[in-house]
Amino acid sequence: QVQLVESGGGLVQTGGSLRISCAASGRTLSSDVMAWFRQAPGKEREFVARVTWSGASTYYADSVKGRFTITRDNAKNTVYLQMISLKPEDTAVYYCASKRAAAGRYDYWGQGTQVTVSS
């Protein structure tokens, strides 16, 4: 079993920066791939970014490419999402998730952290 806890959310102005974190515990060897998703009020959950165990392979949604960076520190069992040039449309609850490489869907989810970008 894997437990994920997000932190670091808050209120920032348009154009500002923020780094959010996801701390993993439990059976972390099951977390071959870790990812960030987000969900705005009244909207569907959407994929943001993912990273493999080694950190060598990353993938981003087009909406955040060039502005967000996902990194992974396995020694600390922590995944980060560095966000720059934030826009009001980035406002959402951000969730981290993990899965085994062979799994079709993400197995474990955190409770989310709120990111609000003021206009």
| Closest of 113, 51, 117 to residue 79, by C-alpha | 51
| 8-17: pLDDT as tens digits | 999 999 999 9
Q: What is the CA radius of gyration of the chain?
A: 13
| Residue 30: pLDDT band with limits 50, 70, 90 | confident
Q: Which residues contact 53 (CB under 8 A, 6 or more apart)?
A: 31, 32, 33, 72, 74
Banded pLDDT at 101 (limits 50, 70, 90):
confident
**Region for 37 from its dihedrals, namely left if φ exceeds 0, alpha if ψ lies in -120 to 50, beta otherwise:** beta
